[in-house]
């Protein structure tokens, strides 16, 4: 995997743990222990996301526009199939 | 019967704030008054979790929910 | 409202095109038990829900399914780019190719175009949650079948991920049903529909 793919996988993992916990909390809103873990995961996910965005470009639609937002790769592009601007 | 704060334990509002409460203090896996004409799925009470990289690989944060397909070849 | 993140929930990187695999996997894009059907079903059901946990659950899972819809699109796209005309003819992919080239279009494996007939939104809490339990099992079965038909680990990995998500969703909808029935009279859960009726206490 390229360094970008390695970091993207870390971001994906942190976001996914956060999301599956979020789903659990939809039906277990009373579980305060899980809520505490959620807050910790959220901090970690935000940190990793910022790290990725600094090196490789935006993830959230709101954080960039124009050339920065448009540049390849898009999520369905395979490594090596696009030109690096 | 439209009390939105009703829980399985009479007198206990599941949305009260407790210091650290595990789901098994508030929920039973199946309701005590489970009866015919209804489908029930046991409530998840086991909250053991994987680390995030493993969770992504397995498709869930919770080992108790991890049910892989093996098929007749019993391969992963 | 909806936002977008420029990433897949689970990464997809397929090195080897495979038109036959694409033909079966596309069924989870536009087929009866696919991710688009799941997403529209849950996002449609959420409006009539009387309980906040169910509004949240249906919204959250409905949005996740849209992300899965995107993953399937990425998988089919990566399986069909760089195919030779020979491969297209030999694999039987030519019947899709003639109408769509290697564009992505919501159909089932048998070529039936997507339809709302694949979903239901009945406006009844118990009915909708029960429908969703069935929907998640059907999707899981289709993923089981895809795993029987596909050998490439690059393809199996995201498919296994998507399959496990169906198991988790089944569990959550089961819990959603419980959160609803806990608020009803177990002597007769069907006395009234909490999504519509306003019975006198």
Q: What is the pLDDT of residues C25-81, one digit of tens each?
A: 999 999 999 999 999 999 999 999 999 999 999 999 999 999 999 999 999 999 999
Q: How many helices and strands, by DSSP H and E, does chain A display?
A: 3, 0
The arithmetic mean of pLDDT across residues C77-104, rounded, is: 96
Q: Tell me: the pLDDT tens digits for B39-59? A: 999 999 999 999 999 999 999
Local structure of C170: helix, strand or coil: helix
Q: Which residues contact B27 (CB under 8 A, 6 or more apart)?
A: A28, B7, B8, B14, B43, B45
Extents of the domains making up chain C: 19-181
| B72 — pLDDT class (breaks 50, 70, 90) | confident
pLDDT at B8 over 90: no
Q: What is the pLDDT of residue C199?
A: 76
Distance between C129 CA and the closest CA of chain A, angstroms: 13
d(CA B3, CA C168): 28
* Residue tagged 């990464």 (tokens): C11
Q: Residue C113: beta bridge partners?
A: C107
Query: Does the model's pTM come out above 0.90?
Result: yes
A contact residues 35-54, partner B, Cβ 8 Å cutoff:
37, 41, 44
Q: Are A13 and B17 a contacting pair at CB < 8 A?
A: no
List the single residue in A with minimal CA-CA distance to B23.
Answer: A31
Q: What Å distances lie between residue A59 and A23, A38, B30, B68, C5, CA to CA?
A: 22, 21, 41, 31, 5
CATH architecture assignment, domain C19-181? Up-down Bundle (1.20)
Nearest to A9 among C11, C56, C176 (CB): C11
* Sequence ranges of the domains in chain A: 3-70
Instruction: Collapse the DSSP code of A74 into the 3-class scheme (helix H, G, I; strand E, B; otherwise coil) and give the result.
Output: coil
Residue C107 · residue C98 · CB < 8 Å:
no
ipTM over 0.90: yes
The token pair that represents C58 in the structure block: 């249906």
């Amino acid at each position: 995997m390229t360094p970008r793919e390695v970091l993207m996988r870390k971001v994906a993992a942190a976001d996914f743990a956060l999301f599956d916990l979020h789903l659990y909390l939809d039906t277990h809103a009373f579980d305060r222990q899980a809520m505490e873990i959620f807050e910790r995961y959220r901090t970690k996910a935000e940190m990793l996301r910022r790290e990725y965005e600094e090196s490789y470009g935006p993830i959230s639609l709101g954080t960039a526009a124009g050339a920065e937002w448009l540049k390849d790769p898009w999520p369905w592009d395979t490594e090596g199939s696009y030109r690096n601007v | 019967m439209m009390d939105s704060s009703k829980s399985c334990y009479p007198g206990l509002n599941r949305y009260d704030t407790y210091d650290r409460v595990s789901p098994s203090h508030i929920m039973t896996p199946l309701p005590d008054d489970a009866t015919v004409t209804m489908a029930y799925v046991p409530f998840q009470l086991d909250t053991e979790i994987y680390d995030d990289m493993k969770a992504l690989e397995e498709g869930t944060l919770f080992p108790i929910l991890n049910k892989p397909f093996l098929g007749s070849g019993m391969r992963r | 409202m909806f936002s977008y993140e420029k990433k897949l929930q689970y990464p997809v990187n397929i090195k080897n095109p495979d038109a036959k695999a694409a033909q079966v996997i596309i069924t989870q894009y536009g087929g009866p038990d696919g991710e688009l059907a799941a997403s529209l079903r849950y996002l449609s059901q959420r409006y009539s829900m009387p309980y906040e946990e169910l509004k949240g659950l249906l919204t959250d899972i409905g949005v996740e399914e849209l992300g899965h819809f995107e993953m399937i699109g990425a998988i089919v796209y990566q399986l069909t780019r760089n195919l030779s005309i020979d491969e297209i003819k030999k694999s039987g992919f030519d019947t899709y190719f003639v109408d769509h080239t290697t564009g992505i279009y919501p159909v089932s494996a048998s070529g039936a175009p997507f339809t709302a007939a694949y979903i239901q939104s009945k406006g009844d809490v118990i009915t909708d949650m029960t429908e969703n339990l069935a929907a998640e099992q059907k999707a899981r079965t289709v993923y089981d079948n895809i795993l029987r038909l596909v050998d490439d680990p690059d393809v199996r990995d995201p498919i296994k991920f998507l399959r496990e998500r169906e198991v988790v969703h089944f569990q959550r909808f089961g819990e959603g049903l419980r959160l609803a029935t806990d608020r009803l009279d177990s002597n007769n859960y069907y006395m009234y529909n909490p999504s519509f009726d306003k019975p006198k206490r």
